Structure formats: structure tokens, C-alpha cells
């Protein structure tokens, strides 16, 4: 098994005819993902990369039975694209687009509250269930099917981590990039919950970074709800202190945005902390060996 | 993006929020003229982006127009150092000359996006002023919060809740509530990331007005607010960061080390900085090169590195995903064609189109040190910056 995407995923790509959209659609298809439809308003009725293109998501759902959408729409129009996918009832929406105004995302979250759609991203690399399905930007060949789940706020640091795991022979069940935006569609907690339920995930790597309180919320969940072991790394211990936003930011989050506070919270919750980003794979290997 | 206090107050005014009478001056003579027009006691306030002005001597009170001229002369053209600035401080080109207000109470009011509830939160406190963060830490119950549902917007009952909560007198409830509604309108209309009035004061006459104001804007939304974008004062920022931004290199932050770093992805960029530090070096900058579709931004980043006198080695660490490694490699080659770059260069490439990227670099005549992984890259860059051979 895996979480969120697998061989049954029938992927739609919104913005399939754009430069990035078509490049990465091609690579998803090469990896073995079933891309069943694309949407670009105005290009309905055409075909690209062997995939039928529709004007609306609704039409794509009716014609192809797509059950997941990958969004490459420019930032100014991306919120609209997410809403369109949710309105059409697509259960999983992965938004790659970076730079979406935060107030647009406030509106999106408000709309999604009463919908069954799960959003991953925005500003994320997407996700992959190795050997089954890739709905994202990651290089497929660095992955290996297996039993470690990966969840991360950072795209490229996830690639580093996966490359370390694979080189040590540790395969992955699903790797999820939840994205670096302040209002992600899915949080660490959402994804940890899915990994905890997934029979084929034995252990999890969590990669956080400075800013916000997402790692502390993850720590609380790990402590209270998780039985599977977690290896964690938090990037930014040596980063410059964040640019302050008046007093309001500090009032809301206190000092919790710092790497050391996040690391302390995760360690206290029972996660094993990787001492450096170069040692995430070896930390997981040691932990798995100690368990078996 | 930040703006100056006088610009923030102009926006508040436009949205119906009372502010003290005043105007901005760029010369002492102008300050004198404004003080004379206002009459009586005035405050002279240095216009800088950094906070902590009051404690740093950036705010002075003048009793006469002549004194206003003299005090403005002591501030304009100097550099102000506060606990939020670099040691060299920030330049002061303008002062805001404002009619002094006799203050009865200092309150606090702000709007920010609350990431937990995923909606704007308005915060208010009757313990406004310079120590508001301490208040939040020691007695969080003194910070009142209302969450603004995006479907219905800010409601009058929420305003009353905060206004009564701050123990305003009955006659002040209505103006306070309308002030709050207007602040929310401004926050929403201009895509603010922060709208903060601290202090919000009750004057001796019982009037409520914004004595100081801080507005920041969502950089991602500036495309629909060209009026706001024009207010940006580059003098308030690090010159290398300004240059980087002008060249199209957006996520660049100057740091105090000597290794110029080009990395894709903010998390990976921070991890590389962590590794450099672990290897005994210091990064000269944080740089997330972002999604690269052509070579321009790579060349621009090299221009920034070569402009920065502290850079002694360059580290390129790219793990391609949406960014294609071959495009980065072409950019590195192009930069060396356009510029005479003699700094040692450490390159580590992986991910999307890595083979093509490595081929491009290998076939170029550029001298570079190849690294096999990012720790290796950090280690080699630290050695190169120290002048050691790898």
C-alpha cells in the first residue's frame, strides 16, 4: 500500500499545455502515472502528449473519471484552479504553483472546509508512491519502493533525503511534499495520520524548517497518536533570525519559529533527531536496525 | 514589503482611520515650516523600516518651530541604529512632523493571518505601547483576539467585543468599532500581511487615533497593487539584497560569512548553510535560486557573488526537480563567459537532467571542484574559502 496515490490514480493536469505543465506531465507519464486528462481553458478538444485536453475540470471529470488533479497554473489564477477542481468533486488536488497571495489561500481554505477534497501544497513538489504513481516534480529515478514514509515542507531537501534513503537500500511507501507556504492544504499532522494508518508504512521521516508552529503540532500528534517511529530533521538552525513582522508575529507564535525549539519539541515527543541533513538516511537505517 | 510610517498613516487616513495631523519633511527648513503650520508642540519621528526607534533616539519632541528645525537637523541625513538594524544602522532621509498628542491611554490593535485557524485574526489589548510582546508572554489573557471569517468579514459584534474588552468608555465604543472595521477593510483591500497600530491612543479629549502604524504587504500579491509597490524604499535595505532583487534574484539574504551559496529550494538552502557551519565555515548569503527556466537568474546570481567583496568561494548545490540541472549548468557556463570569475567554484548537481548538466560543465573550460553530495560540497567549499587545495 501507500497513501493518497497509487496505481488506481487517474491524474488530471490543470495547466497541461504550459511550459512546466507539459514538461512534468511527460515525466509523470514516463514514470508510469496514468495521466487521463488535461485542462487548459480555450484548448478543449485538442490533445497534448497523447492526453485529451478539456476546457473545464467538470468536463474532464465527466469524460475521464479523473480522481486527482495536479495544478501548474500561474499564481494569479491558481486559487481559481483549486476551487474549480474542488467544485468538480476531485478528492485529491496537488497544487505546485508558488507565489499565491495568502488572502487567496484564506478564501480557498474557507471553501474547502465543507468539501471532501484534500489539498496538497501549494508551493510544493507534489508526491510520489514509488513504483506506482508520481504526481509531482521529483526525479522518479532516485526513489525506491519500500516502507518508509517521507513528509516534508521543503521540496529539494526531500530529494536529498530520498537519495540518501535509496542509496542505503531503504525504500519509500509515499513521499509527500506539503509545501513551504504558511497556509498549506495538508499539514504534517494530516499526513502523519495517513502514514500511521497505512499498513505498508513502517517508519516516517519528517523534514521541517524554521518558521511557524507546524513542527510543534506534529510533535504533539507524534506523542499522543503515533506508534510508528519517526526520524526528524529541522533545517535552518544557522539561518539568519527571521525578518520580524511588527509585534503581531511574535505575539502569535512567541519564539516557536526557531529550529532549536522545534527540534526540542520533536525530540521530547519521541522522534529521533538526525544530527545533520547529511545523516537523515543513516539515522533512519540505525533506527530500523535497532527495531528488527 | 514594508512601507514608512508616514505612508502607512496616509493609507489609514484614506480608509477613515484617524491619525495625528502632520506631514513628512526631507529638510530641517521644511520641518520648521510644518511645525509652524501645526502650531504648538510637535513630534519629530525618523522614518525608517526598522522598529525600536523610540528607544534609539529616533523620536524627539519640539516645543517651537525653531526647535523642530534644530531637532530635524539632528536626525535627517544620519543613520539610525536600533536593536532591529545591522550595526551600521539604516539611513534616515525623512522625518514625520506631527502635532503632539496628549495621551490618556495607550492601546494595541493589529491584524495578521493566523496560520492555525487559516484566517485573519484581529488582536487588541489595553496594554499597548513598547512592551506589548512582554505583555503577551507574561499575561496572554490581556491580548484579546477575534477571528475574521473570510465568508462574512469583520462584524460589528466583534468590534464591540474588543472595544468593551479594552474598557473603552460608552461614547468611544462606536468610533473604536468603526476604526476596527476600517482597518480590516484596508488589510483586505491592499493584501496586507500585517496591519499594526501600536499605540492606538485615547487622547485627553477622548478621541481615538493611531499614534504609530506599521503596514506590511504580501509580496506575492504586489502584482495587483502597483500603487503599493511604488512606495518601496530601497535605501532601507542591504545594498547587495537590493542589487540582487534588481537583477531578478529574489530570495537572497546577505549574511556575514565568505561562501557565496546558490541552492534551489529554501529548505535545502538552509540545510546547506547548516552543513557549511558544521564544516567550520560561514555562508556569505542565503539564496534560494527558485525555479529556473533560463540562464538569466543564474548569471545574475554570479554577478551578485562577484560584487560581494566578502565572497571567497562559490558553492552551487542544485537538486533538480522543477528546476532542470542542465539549465543551471548552462547558466554557470554563461556567467563565466560574461565575467572574469576567479573565485574557486564547488559544484554539486543531482536530479532532473543531471547527466546533461554534468556533460555541459565537463565540456566547458571552467575550472571547478566537483562534489558528490551536499556535505562533500559544503566541506570542499569551506576548504576552498580558506584557500586550501581540495
B214-251 tens-digit pLDDT = 999 999 999 999 999 999 998 888 889 899 989 988 88
pLDDT tens-digit readout, A89-136: 999 999 999 999 999 999 999 999 999 999 999 999 999 999 999 999
Q: What letter would DSSP give residue B2?
A: B
CA distances from B214 to B6, B111, B136, B189, B210 (A): 10, 11, 18, 16, 10
Contacts of B51 in chain A (CB under 8 A): 244, 246
From chain A, the residues in CB contact with B278 under 8 A are 276
Residues A254/A222, Cβ–Cβ less than 8 Å: no
**What are the structural domain ranges in chain B?**
1-20+102-237, 21-100, 239-385
Q: What is the pLDDT of residue B264?
A: 92
Q: Give me the percent of chain A exceeding a pLDDT of 90.
A: 85
The CATH fold assigned to B21-100 is Dna Ligase; domain 1 (3.30.1490)
Total residues belonging to chain A: 292
User: Are residues B274 and A235, on separate chains, in Cβ contact within 8 Å?
Assistant: yes
Q: In Å, how far are A127, B126, B323, B340, B351 from A159, measured between CA atoms?
A: 11, 49, 12, 33, 8
Identify which of A228, A237, A238, A233 has the alpha carbon closest to the alpha carbon of residue A201: A228
Domain residue spans of chain A: 10-120, 126-291
Mean local confidence (pLDDT), A216-221: 96
With contact defined as beta carbons under 8 Å apart, do A25 and A31 qualify? no
Q: Which of B149, B178, B151, B150 is nearest to B162 (CA)?
A: B178
ipTM: 0.90
- Alpha-carbon distance of B22 to B246, in angstroms, equals 33
The SS3 assignment for A20 reads helix
- Band the pLDDT of A242: cuts 50, 70, 90: low
Whether the pLDDT of residue B304 is over 70: the answer is yes
Asked if B27 has any chain A CB less than 8 Å from its own CB, the reply is no
Closest residue of chain A to B142, computed from CA coordinates: A251
CATH classification (class only), A126-291: alpha beta
**A63-91 confidence digits (pLDDT tens):** 999 999 999 999 999 999 999 999 999 99
With contacts defined as CB-CB under 8 Å, which chain B residues touch A76?
A: 223-224
A51-65, B194-208, B229-243: the lowest-pLDDT one: B229-243
Mean pLDDT of the region B362-377: 93
Q: Domain A10-120 belongs to what architecture?
A: 3-Layer(aba) Sandwich (3.40)
Q: What is the pTM of this model?
A: 0.92
Is the pLDDT reported for residue B362 higher than 60?
Answer: yes
Cα distances (angstroms) measured from residue B195 to each of A65, A180, B162, B188, B211: 45, 23, 16, 10, 13
Considering chain A, what is the average pLDDT of its residues? 93
Tell me which residue in B196, B255, B275 faces A248 most closely, judged by beta carbons: B196
Q: Which of A4, A1, A139 is nearest to A68 (CA)?
A: A4
CATH number for B239-385: choose from 3.20.20.140, 3.40.50.970, 3.40.50.720, 3.40.50.261: 3.40.50.261
Catalytic residue among A24, A109, A143, A247: A247
pLDDT range class, residue B320, cuts 50, 70, 90: confident
The position carrying cell 485573519 is B120
Mean pLDDT of A42-48: 96
A248 contacts B123? CB cut-off 8 A: yes
Question: B1-20+102-237 has which CATH code?
Answer: 3.30.470.20
- Would you state the pLDDT for residue B375? 93
The pLDDT value given to residue B322: 77
Q: Determine the average pLDDT of the residues in B164-193.
A: 97
pLDDT at residue B291 greater than cutoff 90: no
Take residue B147 and report the three cell numbers written for it. Answer: 477571528
> Beta partners for B315?
B261, B346
Check residue B198 and give its pLDDT.
95
Residues of B labelled as active-site residues: 108, 196
> Same topology for domains A10-120 and A126-291, yes or no?
yes
Cell numbers describing residue A138? 521529483
Q: How confident is the model at residue A265 (pLDDT cuts 50, 70, 90)?
A: very high
Q: Which of A238, A228, A182 is nearest to A205 (CA)?
A: A228
Residue A253's pLDDT is what?
63
Closest by Cβ to A277, choosing from B132, B274, B350: B274
Q: What own/partner pairs with CB < 8 Å and gap ≥ 24 does A57-64 have? A: A57/A12, A57/A14, A57/A84, A57/A85, A57/A87, A57/A88, A57/A90, A58/A84, A58/A87, A58/A88, A60/A12, A60/A88, A61/A12, A61/A88, A61/A89, A61/A90, A63/A37, A64/A10, A64/A12, A64/A36, A64/A37
Give the B window 54-83 contacts with A, CB below 8 Å: none
Examine the pLDDT at A5 and tell me if it is beyond 60: yes
Q: What is the pLDDT of residue A241?
A: 60
Percent of chain B past pLDDT 70, that is, above it, reads: 99
Helix and strand numbers, DSSP H then E, in chain A: 10, 14
Quote the pLDDT of residue B123. 97
CA angle B350, B353, B359 (to 5 degrees): 85
Q: Which of A136, A139, A277 sits opposite B275 (nearest CB)?
A: A277
Amino acid at each position: 500500500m501507500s497513501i493518497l496515490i497509487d496505481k488506481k490514480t487517474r491524474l488530471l493536469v490543470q495547466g497541461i499545455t504550459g511550459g512546466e505543465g507539459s514538461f512534468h506531465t511527460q515525466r509523470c507519464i514516463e514514470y508510469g502515472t496514468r495521466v487521463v486528462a488535461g485542462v487548459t481553458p480555450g484548448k478543449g478538444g485538442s490533445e497534448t502528449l497523447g492526453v485529451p485536453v478539456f476546457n473545464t475540470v467538470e468536463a474532464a471529470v465527466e469524460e475521464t473519471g479523473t480522481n486527482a488533479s495536479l495544478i501548474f497554473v500561474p499564481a494569479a489564477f491558481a486559487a481559481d484552479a483549486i476551487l474549480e477542481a474542488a467544485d468538480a468533486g476531485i478528492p485529491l488536488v496537488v497544487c505546485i504553483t508558488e507565489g499565491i497571495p495568502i488572502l487567496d489561500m484564506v478564501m480557498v481554505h474557507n471553501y474547502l472546509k465543507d468539501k471532501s477534497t484534500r489539498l496538497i501544497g501549494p508551493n510544493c513538489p507534489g508526491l510520489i508512491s514509488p513504483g506506482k504513481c508520481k504526481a509531482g516534480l521529483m526525479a522518479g529515478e532516485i526513489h525506491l519502493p519500500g516502507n518508509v514514509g517521507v513528509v516534508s515542507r521543503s521540496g529539494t531537501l526531500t530529494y536529498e533525503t530520498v537519495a540518501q534513503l535509496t542509496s542505503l537500500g531503504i525504500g519509500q511507501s509515499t513521499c509527500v511534499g506539503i509545501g513551504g507556504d504558511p497556509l498549506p492544504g495538508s499539514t504534517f499532522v494530516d499526513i502523519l495520520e495517513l502514514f500511521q494508518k497505512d499498513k505498508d508504512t513502517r517508519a516516517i521521516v519528517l523534514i521541517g524548517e524554521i518558521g511557524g508552529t507546524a513542527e510543534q503540532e506534529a510533535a504533539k500528534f507524534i506523542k499522543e497518536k503515533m506508534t510508528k517511529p519517526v526520524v526528524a530533521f529541522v533545517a535552518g538552525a544557522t539561518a539568519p533570525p527571521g525578518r520580524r513582522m511588527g509585534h503581531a508575529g511574535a505575539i502569535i507564535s512567541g519564539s516557536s519559529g526557531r529550529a532549536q525549539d522545534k527540534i526540542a519539541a520533536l525530540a521530547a515527543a519521541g522522534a529521533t533527531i538526525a544530527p545533520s541533513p547529511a545523516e537523515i538516511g543513516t539515522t533512519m537505517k540505525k533506527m530500523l536496525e535497532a527495531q528488527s | 514589503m514594508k512601507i514608512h510610517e508616514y505612508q502607512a498613516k496616509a493609507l489609514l487616513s484614506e480608509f477613515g482611520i484617524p491619525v495625528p495631523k502632520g506631514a513628512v519633511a526631507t529638510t530641517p527648513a521644511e520641518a520648521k515650516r510644518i511645525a509652524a503650520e501645526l502650531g504648538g508642540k510637535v513630534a519629530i519621528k525618523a522614518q525608517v523600516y526598522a522598529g525600536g526607534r523610540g528607544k534609539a533616539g529616533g523620536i524627539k519632541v519640539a516645543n517651537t518651530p525653531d526647535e523642530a528645525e534644530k531637532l530635524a537637523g539632528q536626525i535627517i541625513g544620519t543613520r539610525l541604529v536600533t536593536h532591529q538594524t545591522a550595526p551600521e544602522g539604516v539611513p534616515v532621509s525623512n522625518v514625520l512632523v506631527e502635532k503632539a498628542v496628549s495621551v490618556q491611554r495607550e492601546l494595541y490593535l493589529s491584524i495578521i493571518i493566523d496560520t492555525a485557524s487559516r484566517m485573519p485574526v484581529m488582536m487588541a489589548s489595553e496594554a499597548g505601547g513598547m512592551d506589548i510582546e512582554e505583555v503577551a508572554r507574561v499575561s496572554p489573557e490581556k491580548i484579546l483576539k477575534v477571528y475574521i471569517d473570510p465568508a462574512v468579514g469583520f462584524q460589528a459584534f466583534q468590534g464591540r467585543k474588543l472595544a468593551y474588552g479594552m474598557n473603552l468608555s460608552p461614547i468611544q465604543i462606536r468610533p473604536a468599532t468603526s476604526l476596527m472595521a476600517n482597518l480590516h477593510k484596508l488589510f483586505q483591500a491592499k493584501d496586507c500581511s500585517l496591519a499594526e497600530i501600536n499605540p492606538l491612543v485615547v487622547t485627553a479629549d477622548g478621541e481615538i487615533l493611531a499614534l504609530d502604524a506599521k503596514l506590511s504587504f504580501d509580496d506575492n500579491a504586489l502584482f495587483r497593487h502597483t500603487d503599493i509597490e511604488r512606495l518601496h524604499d530601497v535605501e532601507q535595505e542591504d545594498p547587495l539584497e537590493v542589487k540582487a532583487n534588481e537583477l531578478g534574484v529574489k530570495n537572497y539574504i546577505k549574511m556575514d560569512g565568505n561562501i557565496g551559496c546558490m541552492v534551489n529550494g529554501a529548505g535545502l538552502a538552509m540545510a546547506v548553510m547548516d552543513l557549511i557551519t558544521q564544516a567550520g565555515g560561514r555562508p556569505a548569503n542565503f539564496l534560494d535560486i527558485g525555479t529556473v527556466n533560463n540562464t538569466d537568474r543564474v548569471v545574475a546570481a554570479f554577478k551578485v557573488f562577484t560584487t560581494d567583496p566578502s565572497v571567497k568561494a562559490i558553492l552551487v548545490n542544485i537538486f533538480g526537480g522543477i528546476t532542470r540541472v542542465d539549465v543551471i549548468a548552462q547558466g554557470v557556463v554563461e556567467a563565466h563567459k560574461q565575467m572574469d570569475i576567479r573565485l574557486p567554484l564547488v559544484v554539486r548537481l543531482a536530479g532532473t537532467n543531471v547527466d546533461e548538466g554534468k556533460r555541459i560543465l565537463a565540456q566547458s573550460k571552467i575550472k571547478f571542484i566537483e562534489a558528490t553530495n551536499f556535505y562533500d560540497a559544503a566541506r570542499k567549499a569551506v576548504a576552498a574559502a580558506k584557500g586550501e587545495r581540495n
